[in-house]
């Protein structure tokens, strides 16, 4: 009975953390949890001086030094031993055949809660979940006021998913409380990058983020040699070689490499637009589209000008026109550069400030990562070495590009003539020889060029050196 009484405290809010709104069974549990926010670690190991927030953590840690009873919890059926009691309980279920965790969608049972969570996020359940939603739309399933979908036949029962947990610092919403707790770290300095000040949700995210500054990319594709800062980026990339698309749409059999892509695609079938603009009420199927909309339509006070056709009174229609999504709407007011996305312009604007200024030559970079790479041109540091010929490079992508020489790789192929290139930048230049496009125009004589380098060469020709003083005199 006392166990139930303690448990009921998490439903009453008696022992509530005011920083993350988590509830606890007792005052002692709350005090231990608060240390995770304050960073206080009062329990110290007498051997190595490592500190811990909880007393039983130091007891468990001390077994490493004692050399005795490192695994005190022993299975009486197979003599296998474990360091933690919970691991022994999970192991015993293997012998007993006990599977207390049941999937509410398909009824499959599991011995461990973590295995149930993994199962729920498998691609198989995308089909089950959306099958129920589609059948509900066609009146095969009746929806009652309880918020549940009740099947007429023996289909799976699935509660409608709502994001009921809201962050009080921003407008983000979460389905589960653990997602909100993790998100709240971005509003504290718990996992803050010392280089740029960005706040991350966890230590793992912070470690991944730091690789952006260091340029480290430890995860390499065994097929093409491309390197990645994050392991899941490599996993997604590897599917481009294998052709694997494990996430399949139930309605049209279209397949995707990532589950998030499947979610977005299914909303097209369902007509769902869950992301609404708080300023004008327009709805979108994807959160990224909403963010772009807010920047395009409502973000004022930025140092840029939006370019649109003079014969149209509604430039919002032009911005949302799919045929014009590739156009460079955002022009810098300091120079003549234009960008397709506002984030590109924001990064570019840093070169007109002293935010990332080189102390040696005064050059301004777009980011801290760019400044680090630039500084190597002064120091002569070349940390990235080719394992074949030992040639060294200042930037990681220069090494990747160089490695294609040894592999004989030319991954960028022209769709018109089949000619292949080692660098992506070479492909669009080549395609312009087929299309005849000349997007780079001289502001002095109006002559157009296929490539920016050709335009620069043209500007410094003798002809223009004579035109420049004449133009200056006319302006005076």
Q: What is the pLDDT of residues 290-332, one digit of tens each?
A: 877 776 666 544 444 444 433 333 434 444 444 344 456 677 8
The separation between CA 99 and the C-alpha centre of its own chain, rounded to angstroms, equals 35
Predicted confidence (pLDDT) at residue 123 exceeds the cutoff of 60? no
CA distance 116 to 109: 8
Task: Pick 67 or 50 by higher pLDDT.
Answer: 50
Query: Of all residues in the chain, what percent carry a pLDDT higher than 70?
Result: 79
Q: Which of 139-148, 190-199, 233-242, 301-310 is most confident? A: 190-199
Predicted confidence (pLDDT) at residue 154 exceeds the cutoff of 50? no
Average pLDDT, the chain: 75
What would the mean pLDDT of 61-90 be, rounded to a whole number? Answer: 75
Residue 261 located in a structural domain: no
Residue 307 located in a structural domain: no
CB 221 within 8 A of CB 227: yes
Over the stretch 183-213, which tens digit does the pLDDT of each residue have? Answer: 889 998 888 998 888 899 988 888 888 888 8
User: Among 189-198, 385-394, 395-404, 458-467, which is the least confidently predicted range?
Assistant: 458-467
Which residues lie closer than 8 Å to 35 by C-beta, 6 or more apart? Answer: 41, 42, 53, 54
Task: Pick 303 or 167 by higher pLDDT.
Answer: 167
Could you please report the per-residue DSSP string of 425-468? Answer: THHHHHHHHHH----EE-TTT--EESSHHHHHHHHTSHHHHHHH
Task: Pick 36 or 321 by higher pLDDT.
Answer: 36
Residue 450 located in a structural domain: no
What's the pLDDT at 158? 35
- Residue that is written with structure tokens 């007891």 in the block: 59
Domain boundaries, position 42 = 2-118
What's the pLDDT at 217? 86
Q: What does each C-alpha distance from 304 to 140, 266, 322, 328 come to in angstroms?
A: 53, 36, 22, 12
Residue 6 located in a structural domain: yes
Residue 474 located in a structural domain: no
Both structure tokens of 122: 């498998």
Residue 37 located in a structural domain: yes
Angle (nearest 5°) at CA 474 between 473 and 476: 65
CATH of the domain at 10: 3.30.160.60
CA distance 398 to 373: 11
Residue 17 located in a structural domain: yes
CB 306 within 8 A of CB 329: yes
What's the maximum distance between 2 C-alpha atoms anywhere in the chain? Answer: 98
What's the pLDDT at 465? 52
CA distance 296 to 307: 11
Between the two ends of the chain, the Cα-to-Cα distance in Å is 94
What's the pLDDT at 303? 45
Going by the DSSP 8-state scheme, the letter that residue 419 receives in this structure is: -
Predicted confidence (pLDDT) at residue 69 exceeds the cutoff of 70? no
Residue 101 located in a structural domain: yes
Neighbours of 141 (CB within 10 A): 21
Backbone angles phi, psi at 219, to 5 degrees: -105, 110
Task: Find residue 172's DSSP bridge partners.
Answer: none
What would the mean pLDDT of 374-378 be, rounded to a whole number? Answer: 89
CA distance 394 to 375: 10
Predicted confidence (pLDDT) at residue 153 exceeds the cutoff of 80? no
Which residues lie closer than 8 Å to 311 by C-beta, 6 or more apart? Answer: none
What's the pLDDT at 463? 60
- 298: enclosing H helix or E strand: none
What's the pLDDT at 328? 67
Backbone angles phi, psi at 414, to 5 degrees: -75, 130
Neighbours of 180 (CB within 10 A): 21
Over the stretch 395-420, which tens digit does the pLDDT of each residue have? Answer: 888 888 888 888 888 888 888 898 88
The total of structural domains in the chain comes to: 1
Torsion of Cα atoms, 279 then 282 then 287 then 288, to 10°:
-90
Which residues lie closer than 8 Å to 217 by C-beta, 6 or more apart? Answer: 211, 227, 228, 229, 396
CA distance 363 to 373: 12
Could you please report the per-residue DSSP string of 163-194? Answer: --EE-SSSS-EESSHHHHHHHGGGGSSTTB-T
């Amino acid at each position: 009975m006392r166990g139930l009484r303690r448990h009921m405290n998490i439903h009453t809010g008696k022992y509530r953390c005011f920083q993350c709104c988590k509830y606890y069974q007792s005052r002692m549990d709350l005090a231990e949890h608060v240390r995770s926010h304050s960073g206080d670690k009062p329990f110290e190991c007498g051997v190595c001086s490592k500190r811990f927030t909880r007393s039983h953590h130091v007891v468990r840690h001390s077994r490493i030094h004692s050399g005795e009873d490192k695994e005190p919890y022993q299975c009486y059926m197979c003599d296998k031993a474990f360091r933690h009691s919970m691991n022994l309980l999970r192991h015993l279920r293997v012998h007993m055949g006990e599977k207390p965790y049941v999937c509410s969608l398909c009824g499959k049972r599991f011995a461990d809660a973590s295995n149930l969570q993994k199962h729920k996020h498998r691609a198989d359940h995308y089909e089950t979940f959306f099958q129920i939603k589609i059948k509900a739309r066609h009146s095969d399933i009746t929806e009652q006021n309880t918020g549940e979908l009740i099947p007429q036949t023996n289909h799976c029962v699935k509660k409608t998913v709502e994001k009921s947990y809201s962050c009080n610092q921003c407008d983000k919403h979460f389905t589960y409380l653990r997602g909100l707790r993790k998100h709240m770290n971005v509003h504290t300095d718990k996992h803050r990058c010392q280089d740029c000040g960005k706040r991350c949700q966890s230590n793992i995210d912070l470690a991944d983020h730091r690789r952006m500054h260091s340029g480290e990319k430890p995860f390499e594709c065994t097929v093409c040699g491309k390197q990645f800062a994050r392991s899941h980026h490599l996993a997604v990339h590897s599917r481009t070689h294998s052709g694997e698309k494990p996430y399949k749409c139930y309605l049209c059999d279209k397949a995707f490499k990532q589950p998030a892509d499947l979610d977005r695609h299914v909303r097209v079938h369902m007509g769902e637009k869950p992301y609404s603009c708080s300023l004008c009420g327009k709805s979108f199927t994807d959160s990224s589209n909403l963010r772009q909309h807010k920047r395009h339509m409502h973000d004022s006070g930025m140092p840029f000008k939006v370019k649109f056709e003079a014969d149209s009174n509604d430039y919002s229609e032009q911005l949302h026109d799919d045929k014009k999504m590739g156009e460079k709407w955002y022009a810098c007011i300091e120079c003549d550069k234009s960008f397709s996305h506002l984030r590109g312009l924001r990064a570019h604007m840093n070169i007109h400030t002293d935010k990332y200024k080189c102390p040696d030559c005064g050059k301004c970079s777009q980011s801290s990562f760019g400044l680090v790479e630039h500084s190597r041109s002064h120091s002569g540091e070349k940390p990235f070495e080719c394992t074949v010929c030992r040639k060294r490079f200042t930037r990681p992508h220069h090494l990747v590009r160089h490695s294609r020489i040894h592999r004989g790789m030319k991954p960028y192929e022209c769709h018109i003539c089949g000619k292949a290139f080692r660098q992506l930048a070479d492909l669009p230049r080549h395609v312009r020889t087929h299309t005849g496009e000349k997007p780079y125009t001289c502001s002095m004589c109006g002559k157009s060029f296929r490539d920016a380098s050709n335009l620069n060469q043209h500007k410094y020709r003798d002809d223009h050196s004579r035109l420049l003083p004449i133009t200056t005199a006319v302006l005076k």
